Amino acid sequence: MLLHLKNILDTAKQHNIREMLNKAPFIDGKHSAGTAAKQVKNNLEMRQDTQQAQYLDQLVMGSLAENADFRSAALPFRVAQPVFARYRTGMRYGDHTDDPVMGNGLEKFRTDVAVTVFLNPPEDYDGGELVIHSPFGEQQVKYAAGDAVLYPANSLHRVKEVTGGERLVAVTWIQSMVRDSAKRELLYELDQARNALLRQNAADLTSQQVNRAYANLLRRWSEI
Residue 154 DSSP code: T
Instruction: Please tell me the pTM assigned to this model.
Output: 0.94
| pLDDT at residue number 51 | 87
Domain range annotation of the chain: 3-176, 181-221
Residue 85 CB: number of other CB atoms within 10 A? 23
Cα separation, 208 vs 216, in Å, equals: 12
Render 181-199 in DSSP notation, one character per residue.
HHHHHHHHHHHHHHHHHHH
> Which stretches of the chain drop beneath a pLDDT of 50?
none
Which residue(s) pair with 35 in the sheet? none
CATH superfamily of 3-176: q2cbj1_9rhob like domain (2.60.120.620)
Q: Do 20 and 52 meet the contact criterion of CB atoms below 8 Å apart? A: yes
Secondary structure class of 38 (helix, strand, coil)? helix
| pLDDT tens for each residue of 60-115 | 999 999 999 999 999 999 999 999 999 999 999 999 999 999 988 878 999 999 99
| pLDDT at residue number 135 | 87
Cα separation, 110 vs 166, in Å, equals: 31
| pLDDT at residue number 152 | 96
Residue 108 CB: number of other CB atoms within 10 A? 11
| pLDDT at residue number 150 | 98
